[in-house]
Structure 1
Amino acid sequence: MSRNEEFFNHITEGNTNKGEFITLGSAMLDGETIKNAYVNVPLKTMNRHGLIAGATGTGKTKTLQVLAENLSEKGVPVLLMDIKGDLSGLAQPSPGHVKIDERHEAIGLPFEAKSFPVEVMTLSEQDGVRLRATVSEFGPVLISRILDVTETQAGIISVIFKYCDDNKLPLLDLKDFKKILQYCTSEGKEEFQEEYGRISTASTGAILRKIVELEQQGGDLFFGEKSFDTQDLLRIADDGRGYINIIRLTDIQDRPKLFSTFMLSLLAEIYSTFPEQGDTGRPELIMFIDEAHLIFNEASDALLDQIESIVKLIRSKGVGLYFVTQNPTDVPEAVLSQLGLKVQHALRAFTAKDRKAIKLTAQNYPDTEYYDTAEVLTSLGTGEALVSALNEKGRPTPLAATMMRAPMSRMDVLTDSELSNLLSSSKMVKKYNETIDRESAYEILNEKIERAEAEEAKEKARKEKEALKKAESKRRTSSTRSNRMNPVVKVLTSATFIRSVFGILTKVMKK
């Protein structure tokens, strides 16, 4: 048996094909593609999370695209974090190319151009389905983590949420939250202190500054109604394919707080609302985070802790998380150790630090007699990758340098007119893009303050009026008493006295 035949058997012996699977491409040996030596990933293990890594321009995003397409074909919904803005082309079929045909001929797979059911979403003012959540839905714990407040300030936030619950004050957006913070240390200070204790203005001032920082990064666009229902991520198209939900994040690099807020909200909501399902044979939802190194670099400690916890727990909900980044070392070790599928594109060794990182990366893959892993990592071409997955029994499959298949959809962005047409036909846009500003804590507290001010002004006017009446009454009483107590004044002002005086004066004048 030749070395190529041994290698073919080595790669394909684990491909039992008893269940559904995704074919990523065909294995390579000594730089040559072994036709029909398919590298498969069982669908049932896709909720074990994964990593797609490699230097810029090596084909990471296209691998993501291939996985998203094949998951959709299998009826599994997908959520993509599109930071570079080049994934919207999934909504249009590939125009094809000679090099694509050559690639698929070498792999042994037929190529078919297809478009996929796509929903474009946004956290900001970009076009797309608006993703929002209310402050109340976050709750005091998540809000405190997002704002990165002290333990004392977190306690104040918890008390404020309790006050709002007790007094039926909906906390929907950030202006509601700011208003209640101001109210509890000013107009409503006495009422608040009587029931919940004294709150320091220095602490509420610090929390307000954190909220303003979040607002400046677009938090005011995210918090509010209508809240996004995570069940809408699980939609299946009429033809049975899962929807590919693409969140446009091209402007998120300058807004790490906003992204942290969104990720905390999304992961917490998915974990709390999705039912436990164990290993059912197919995932409920697969999430891809493109350019994950940007997120991990900018993420708050709270977000990192939350991601680590979710990666460990969310698998039982049928949800898989896939991180797309330049180097595996960009991903925290606690997360990296939990990943089942690893697709490693080429790495570049320009510096001693790069060479050290490559050696560390090579140690993360199973040993194999067919490759010098560290050497292969630097010699892979565009659209080629080292692949290590889990088989149906949860065991690592043989490490395979793989010629990756090409995406069936367009490897480019949608034009403005294509995007406009896609959004105009979207039911989700009609459902979520209406801005609602119903009566909430802000309006209720303003009305309460206005009523209190009106009552105060009315009471003040009443007191002033009473004071004037009392003063007038006192003056009259004083005058009356004075006249009654002075008999001389009485005589001098009497009519008899005045007539007598005028009579005397008349007689004197006559004489």
Structure 2
Amino acid sequence: MSLIPQLLLGADPLGQPIAQTLRLANRHGLIAGATGTGKTVTLQRLAEAFSDAGVAVFAADIKGDLCGLGAAGAPQGKVAERIASMPWLTHSPQAYPVTLWDVQGVSGHPLRTTLSEMGPLLLGNLLELTDSQQAALYAAFQVADREGLLLLDLKDLKALLIHLKDHAELLGDDQALFTQPSSQALLRRLSTLEQQGAEALFGEPALRLEDILRPEADGRGRIHLLDASRLVHQAPKVYATFLLWLLAELFEQLPERGDADKPLLALFFDEAHLLFADTPKALQERLEQVVRLIRSKGVGVYFVTQSPTDLPDEVLAQLGLRIQHGLRAFTAREQKSLRAVAEGFRPNPSINCLQVLTELGTGEALVGALEDKGTPAMVQRVAIAPPQSRIGPLSEAERAQLIRQSPQAGRYDKAIDRQSAYEMLNARQAEALPDEGVKAPPAATKPEPGLGEQAGDYLGDLAGQLMKTAVRQAANQLGRQLVRGLLGSLLGGKRR
């Protein structure tokens, strides 16, 4: 085998190993195939390979069984036979360093961001706004920027919208954009979002990217799993919007790395079609731009879906690694899609892709990797190597233990509600009506001090959050203006 660091994928029909050069793993990729063909196990195998190479991983756990990465495997049956068929494969059953996340904070650490960080473009996509409603939302964010009003959670934005109805003069030249029907519609959409349970996504402490990128003491990359088993069915827009926000944050905060031996982070977006479903054209164009540019920041994005046709052509054109599991083609439309998938690989004279796609067994795939020079290699039929961790979910007790032992334990579990737009606007109202006996709301509750080292860690994290916000308020950074225009927030505006 090559001495160049590789992501080992599996073996061809002759038993020869098939791999992807690690330094090209930031060229993005695709794992596709019909239900039950082995996509999740392939994702698990890739996550392990990245972790072993010291690359951090963030993945969505759609079915709830990817968390088996946190326990050692016990190969038997067909899995053991597959391992035995690859004598060159070093297979040592082991658990991987895994952190579990959950927007609701039930089956993992709470996962939060703030409205100011998400910005009106992504928030408008989440709320599925019309053009006039989106314009009103932009106008509200402009006022928040001018007035120094932090928008951290949904109650902050609701308070701002209600305040602007009675103080339209704050809108300045944007008064025409903020109509009564639009503001009422925004408030209704926010209430609907709360009913879907999305309120838990917004607030502090917000996710810190350094906690995702930090390697283990043994050099392995930590694997971060978002439990989306409920979220993707109950609130698919919330799921998709969070992933888009994460992509934008990475693009904003990470420096340029140029050519490197390996990426910093591998992102796996399962149910990838949700990222592009009913997405406004402007947002989709910016998403495609971020996908194209983020690889220079050391981030590889891997889309997981049933068919490549679920993704826009502009995104497909940027994917370096393609792993295509079996497809079914019963209807004329499915047969047309099958031909398009087959034509997406660099031809191999010994393989009839169109025929093989319907013959592939579970755990087999057509793989189109990149050669060392970055050009597409000929397509290969590959038996995917089994993962070293458990194939299947953790028990509730195992999951609870993993959460307790996590490096992030105690950092995100307790919400912080500090002074922001809601408190500031209520205080202003109280000052304007002194004779009515209106009292200003109490100051934001401070976190209770912990004991010993935990307290120091907790307060240190809080200080880091406050410093991060202060820097964003003080600086008008040109580099961040680009991200405002790409995915996040106000075009050319300042970041809070």
Tell me the TM-score normalised to structure 1 length.
0.80
Greater mean deviation of Cα atoms: 345-354 or 42-51: 345-354
Q: CA deviation at 1:124?
A: 2.3
Q: CA deviation at 1:160?
A: 2.8
Residue matched to 2:110: 130
Q: Distance in 2 between matches of 1:148 and 1:298?
A: 9
SS in 1 for 2:335: helix
CA offsets 1:441-470 (integer angstroms, 9 cap, x no match): 112212222332333679xxxxxxxxxxxx
Residue matched to 1:231: 210
Q: Distance in 1 between matches of 2:111 and 2:162?
A: 28
Residue matched to 2:10: 25
Q: Distance in 2 between matches of 1:140 and 1:215?
A: 17
Letter in 2 for 1:369: P
Residue matched to 1:261: 241
In the alignment, structure 1 residue 99 sits paired with structure 2 residue 78: yes
1:455 to 435, 458, 462: 435
Residue matched to 1:83: 62
Equivalent residues of 2:105, 2:111 under 8 A apart: no
Q: CA deviation at 1:370?
A: 0.7
In the alignment, structure 1 residue 220 sits paired with structure 2 residue 187: no
Equivalent residues of 1:128, 1:429 under 8 A apart: no
Equivalent residues of 2:21, 2:372 under 8 A apart: yes
Q: Distance in 2 between matches of 1:167 and 1:436?
A: 22
- Please tell me whether Structure 1 or Structure 2 has the larger radius of gyration of its CA atoms: 1
Equivalent residues of 2:139, 2:171 under 8 A apart: no
Equivalent residues of 2:58, 2:265 under 8 A apart: yes
Q: How does 1:110-125 map to 2 (within 5 A)?
A: 110-125=90-105
Letter in 1 for 2:72: P
Residue matched to 1:206: 185
Residue matched to 2:350: 370
Identity %: 41
Residue matched to 2:258: 278
Q: Distance in 2 between matches of 1:131 and 1:457?
A: 39
Tell me the TM-score normalised to structure 2 length.
0.82
Q: CA deviation at 1:336?
A: 1.1
Change (3 A) 1:301 1:126: farther
Q: CA deviation at 1:359?
A: 1.6
Q: CA deviation at 1:214?
A: 2.5
SS in 2 for 1:432: coil
Q: Distance in 2 between matches of 1:106 and 1:193?
A: 69
Q: How does 1:161-200 map to 2 (within 5 A)?
A: 161-186=141-166, 188-189=167-168, 192=170, 197=175, 199-200=178-179
Q: Distance in 2 between matches of 1:131 and 1:390?
A: 35
Residue matched to 1:52: 31
1:348 to 325, 328, 336: 328
Q: Distance in 1 between matches of 2:331 and 2:346?
A: 25
Change (3 A) 1:249 1:303: farther
Equivalent residues of 2:126, 2:238 under 8 A apart: no
Greater mean deviation of Cα atoms: 308-317 or 212-221: 212-221
Unaligned runs of 5+ in 1: 1-14, 29-33, 459-511
Equivalent residues of 1:146, 1:302 under 8 A apart: no
Q: CA deviation at 1:301?
A: 5.2
SS in 1 for 2:226: strand
Equivalent residues of 2:243, 2:269 under 8 A apart: no
SS in 2 for 1:265: helix
Q: How does 1:445-484 map to 2 (within 5 A)?
A: 445-455=425-435
Q: Distance in 2 between matches of 1:369 and 1:159?
A: 58
Equivalent residues of 2:244, 2:275 under 8 A apart: no
CA offsets 1:217-248 (integer angstroms, 9 cap, x no match): 33211111111112221121111100010001
Q: CA RMSD in A?
A: 2.2
**Structure showing the higher helix proportion among its residues:** 1
1:389 to 352, 369, 376: 369
Equivalent residues of 1:287, 1:321 under 8 A apart: yes
Residue matched to 2:359: 379
Q: Distance in 1 between matches of 2:281 and 2:234?
A: 18
